Amino acid sequence: MAKVSTLLLSAATLGLLKYAPAEYLAPLIDLLSKTPFTPQTILSCVQFFAWCKLLTGVASNINTYFSWKKENNWVTDDKYDWDKEVVMLTGGSAGLGEQMAIQLAEKGVTVVVVDVNPVREEVLEKYKTISFFSCDISDFAALSTTAAEIRKAHGDPTIIILNAAIANLGPLLSTPVAQSQKLININLTSHIAMIHEFLPSMIKNNHGHVMFIASMCSYLSIAGLADYCATKAGTLAYYEALRQELRHVYKAPKVRTSIVHPTWMRTNIVPFESVEKSGEIRDIKRLFYGVEKTAKIAVQKVLSGYGGRVIVPDVWQMRAMIGLRTWSIWAQESLRDYVRLIGQ
């Protein structure tokens, strides 16, 4: 909507400048006559700027349209019956996962939460379409057993949201290898295990949606979150390969895939309060984005029935970060210096 508004404003500007009666432009011309430039020169510059804005907006809309079509394999005839769809959500007992579960349940969608921690009683009481399965998803034998229990109780999930994640905050050498291994198992390997459990039915029916909750750390590695960043970059790589295999190997173009890259949120994953007290967060709190808003954007993507890449918040600074590795090395390193969580 914002892009359309920009186009309309640019077009209106062009119309005003090119076709408006001379008497309407007289005050503007009088003002410009007091500048070192001639009024005609200034008006020509404004017209040129408006044309650039208009053409840039048109090109951006065309690019967005073709990206969306390609991301969804040019297929638009798949329909979702939200009274029958089943959403399986990992890490749904708190934070972003809980908010997504609640917002889906508010739409009457059946949500199966898989988490090592229980869903709050008040949430289960209020939202009857939410059910909870206790499982340590880093234990792959237990995960397989839980997946069988879910299928028995609800049938095969048609949407899976791979949200569960933990973080180890601190220098990489101070993090025990076993602790990093557990993080990798939860943040990345469990995603792969869930894909093995639930993707076959989606492929068979050529219907479904796999959503990965990644991070802007998929693009920007940060001192103090080395293993976490590695798993989020790995999630992005796995998502991209999955898209290709669904298209070319499994011939399931209606199985949607999406990935969400949120910026900083106040959740239990990283204890930001302790970091802020130590003075090491270096203005990162300016990048915080609300959990509820992030959940709303992710849920809207699911309910749309289409896949794609989602940046939260979708602002130019975050989109510029996607191309970080194309920046000059000095610029990349300067940005990493600025957003580090540890070190002087």
The answer to whether 130 and 105 are in contact (CB under 8 A) is yes
Instruction: Annotate 138-190 with DSSP letters as a single string.
Output: TSHHHHHHHHHHHHHHH-S-SEEEE-------S-GGGS-HHHHHHHHIIIIIH
The kind and range of the H/E element at 71 are helix 39-71
Q: At what angle do helices 140-154 and 190-205 cross, to 10 degrees?
A: 30
N-to-C CA span, the chain: 43
Q: How far is CA 91 from the centre of its chain?
A: 16
Q: Which of 80, 232, 239, 306 is catalytic?
A: 232
β-partners of residue 223 are none
| Distance between CA atoms of residues 17 and 22, nearest Å | 9
Q: How many helices and strands in the chain, by DSSP H and E?
A: 13, 7
Give Cβ neighbours of residue 138 (< 8 Å, ≥ 6 apart): 182, 185, 186, 189, 190
Q: Is 182 a catalytic residue?
A: no
Question: Angle at Cα 97 formed by Cα 93 and Cα 103, nearest 5°?
Answer: 105
The kind and range of the H/E element at 242 are helix 226-248
Q: Is 232 a catalytic residue?
A: yes
Burial class, 20, CB count within 10 angstroms (exposed 0-12 / middle 13-18 / buried 19+): exposed
| Distance between CA atoms of residues 295 and 298, nearest Å | 5
| Distance between CA atoms of residues 139 and 264, nearest Å | 28
Q: Which of 80, 127, 228, 238 is catalytic?
A: 228
User: DSSP H helical segments within 72-162, as ranges?
Assistant: 95-106, 121-126, 140-154
Return the DSSP state at 89.
Answer: E
Please give the positions annotated as active site. 228, 232
